């Protein structure tokens, strides 16, 4: 069995699966646990926001470090995965009552910093090991297994929390075990060619470092050149407005579902029981325990749909369908989702929850095409991971602003007004991408190659 995972593609699938189990889904269970032991909602919100804000600030920096590092990227990935897991499990050391805030705040900052390096490291190692020709196929495979890992973590964490209720803290051991498996799996990954991993031409993976010839490091494009590239700016704007419209929708959806269940002992009863520190009342009513499978199921539904969308995107990419068509397919799911939630706001939780399928489709296509587009735009510049980080930061900024302004609108004007705002804004990324972004498929590094050919012809002449 071990020899099977020595094949690079299988090794990457294995590592992606276990890294997927370190995903954000377990933050939901962290929130439940902290409310359970007496934390108030504002303190939990600050802790989770600190993680997102740290990642937002650090992602571009992390990408630049991964581009320029002379260290083995596998070592960086190991450290990042370990720190992410340790930070996530720090919740086990929080004492009963609304205390130990600084412990959680500091560890969430560390988690946000460490997690910023995981994506760039995995993408760089994939590019370094397989080159630009096979990059799409392997990244799609990585993405699929990452979603499967996230779904599995939701199932395992939910089952553990349900079985050991009210001691749901045992579900966080899923993170620790996953991190250990990921660290073991990283040892099976090839290092590949470090220069190829940052998107330079003229490099090829080597089997043994002793066989690698000394070669001068190519000159990377300037920061200004790659950051001001037209297609980079279009992708940043598209992702910013997509997440600006999208991030708040899930919050509003959860609020609509809980508000619609007030009279039936729904989510509000669950949160209020914990907010009052009344563990016995929550346990006696059974609402909190019964909510655990619902939360796990919601995460599972989204990840399963993302897995399907990633597989479909990979299938049609192999068939020659361009980036633009598939990316647009992901973008158009958002206005449909917003419209359906508004239409079904009083139809019941089953109808509202079903709209998460559209969220999974949009997220799946967006997540799959993002590294494809960045590789198309930047290959040959030596700034692949920098732009991966820059675009991710723009997406994160959109999401952060969405939650802030979206909830302000909810407070002042109501849920329907907030969803209507998201619906209107969701057309902005569609228009930007449709009219301004050219097709990038089969253009990976073409500009740089053409320049090199012209220079060679000039020298020969």
pLDDT tens string 117-133: 988 899 899 988 988 88
CATH architecture of 7-201+223-460: Up-down Bundle (1.20)
Alpha helices in 164-206 (DSSP H): 173-186, 194-197
Q: What is the pLDDT of residue 302?
A: 78
pLDDT at 215: 52
Cα(269)–Cα(267) distance, integer angstroms: 5
Q: Classify residue 12 as exposed, middle or buried by CB count within 10 Å of its CB (0-12, 13-18, 19+).
A: buried
Instruction: Please tell me the distance from the alpha carbon of residue 121 to that of residue 198, in angstroms, as a whole number.
Output: 10
Q: 35, 98 in Cβ contact below 8 A?
A: no
Q: How far apart are the first and last CA of the chain?
A: 56
Question: How much of the chain, in percent, has pLDDT values that exceed 90?
Answer: 18
Q: What is the pLDDT of residue 207?
A: 46
User: Per the structure block, which two tokens stand in for 386?
Assistant: 């920098």
Tokens of 24: 């954000």
- Per-residue pLDDT, 437: 92
pLDDT (0 to 100) of residue 231: 92
Query: How does pLDDT run across 57-86, given as a tens digit for each residue?
Result: 888 898 889 988 888 899 999 998 888 888
Are residues 357 and 306 in contact, defined by beta-carbon separation less than 8 angstroms?
A: no
State how far the Cα of 308 lies from the Cα of 315, in Å rounded to an integer.
10
How far apart are alpha carbons 409 and 374 in whole angstroms?
A: 34
Residue 104, pLDDT score: 86
Residue 69, both tokens? 């590092």
Q: Which of 337, 330, 331 is nearest to 356 (CA)?
A: 337
Contact 439, 284 (CB under 8 A): no
CA distance 20 to 16: 6
In angstroms, how far is CA 370 from the centroid of its own chain? 11
Distances (CA, A) of 291 to 153, 287, 359: 17, 6, 21
Please tell me the predicted confidence (pLDDT) of residue 288. Answer: 54
Q: CB of 158 within 8 A of CB of 33?
A: no
Whole-angstrom distance, CA of residue 333 vs CA of residue 108: 32
Q: Please, what sign has the CA dihedral across residues 453, 133, 16, 28? A: positive
pLDDT, tens digit, for every residue of 246-275?
Answer: 888 877 877 777 664 443 434 444 334 333
Residue whose structure tokens are 């950051």: 227
How does the average pLDDT of the chain come out, rounded?
A: 79
Spans in the chain with pLDDT lower than 70 = 1-6, 21-28, 41, 201-217, 258-292, 294-296, 445-461
């Amino acid at each position: 069995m071990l020899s099977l995972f020595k094949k690079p593609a299988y090794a990457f699938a294995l590592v992606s699966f276990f890294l997927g189990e370190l995903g954000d889904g377990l933050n939901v269970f962290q929130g439940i646990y902290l409310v359970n032991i007496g934390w108030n909602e504002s303190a939990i919100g600050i802790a989770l926001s600190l993680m997102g804000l740290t990642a937002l600030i650090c992602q571009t920096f992390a990408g630049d470090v991964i581009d320029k590092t002379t260290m083995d990227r596998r070592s960086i990935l190991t450290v990042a995965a370990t720190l992410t897991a340790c930070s996530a499990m720090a919740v086990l050391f929080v004492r009963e009552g609304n205390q130990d805030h600084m412990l959680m705040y500091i560890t969430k900052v560390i988690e946000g910093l460490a997690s910023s390096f995981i994506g760039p490291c995995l993408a760089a190692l994939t590019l370094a090991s397989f080159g630009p020709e096979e990059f799409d196929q392997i990244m799609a495979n990585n993405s699929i297994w990452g979603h499967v890992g996230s779904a599995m973590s939701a199932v395992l964490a939910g089952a553990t929390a349900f079985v050991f209720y009210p001691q749901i803290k045992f579900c966080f051991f899923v993170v620790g075990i996953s991190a250990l498996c990921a660290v073991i799996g990283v040892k099976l990954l090839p290092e590949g060619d470090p220069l190829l991993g940052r998107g330079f031409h003229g490099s090829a993976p080597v089997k043994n470092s002793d066989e690698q010839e000394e070669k001068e490091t190519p000159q990377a494009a300037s920061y200004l050149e790659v950051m001001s590239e037209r297609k980079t700016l279009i992708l940043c704007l598209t992702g910013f407005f997509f997440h600006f419209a999208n991030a708040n929708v899930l919050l509003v959806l959860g609020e609509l579902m809980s508000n619609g269940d007030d009279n039936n002992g729904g989510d509000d009863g669950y949160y209020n029981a914990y907010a009052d520190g009344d563990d016995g009342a929550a346990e006696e009513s059974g609402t909190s325990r019964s909510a655990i499978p619902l939360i796990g199921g919601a995460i599972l539904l989204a990840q399963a749909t993302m897995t399907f969308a990633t597989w479909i995107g990979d299938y049609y990419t192999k068939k020659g369908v361009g980036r633009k068509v598939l990316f647009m397919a992901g973008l158009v799911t958002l206005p449909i989702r917003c419209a359906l939630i508004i239409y079904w706001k009083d139809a019941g939780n089953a109808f509202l929850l079903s709209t998460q399928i559209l969220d999974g489709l949009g997220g799946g296509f967006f997540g799959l095409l993002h590294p494809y587009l960045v590789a198309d735009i930047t290959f040959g510049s030596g700034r692949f991971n920098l732009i991966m980080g820059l675009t991710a930061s723009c997406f994160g900024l959109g999401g952060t602003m969405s939650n802030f302004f979206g909830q302000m609108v909810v407070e002042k004007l109501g849920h329907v007004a907030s969803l209507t705002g998201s619906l209107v804004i969701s057309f902005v990324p569609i228009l930007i991408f449709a009219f301004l972004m050219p097709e990038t498929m089969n253009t990976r590094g073409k500009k740089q190659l053409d320049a090199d050919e012209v220079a060679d012809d000039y020298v020969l002449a």
